[in-house]
Amino acid sequence: MLSKIFALTIILGLAAFTFATPPTSDSIKGEWAGVFSIAGHTADVTMKFDVDGSKVTGTVNSEHTGPGTITDGKWENGKLTCTLKFEKHESIDFSGGFKDGKFGGEFKTEGMTGTWTAERKK
d(CA 48, CA 56): 10
41-52 and 55-62 as β-strands: parallel, antiparallel, unpaired?
Answer: antiparallel
The domain segmentation of the chain, as residue ranges, is 23-120
pTM: 0.78
Identify the three-state secondary structure at position 122.
coil
Kind plus residue range of the DSSP H or E element containing 8 = helix 2-20
Q: What is the pLDDT of residues 72-113, one digit of tens each?
A: 999 999 999 999 999 999 999 999 999 877 899 999 999 999
Pick the CATH number of 23-120 from 3.40.50.300, 1.10.1740.10, 3.30.300.180, 2.40.128.120: 2.40.128.120
Taking CB atoms within 8 Å and a gap of at least 24, the contacts of 39-43 are 39/112, 39/114
12 DSSP 8-state letter? H
pLDDT higher for 12 or 96? 96
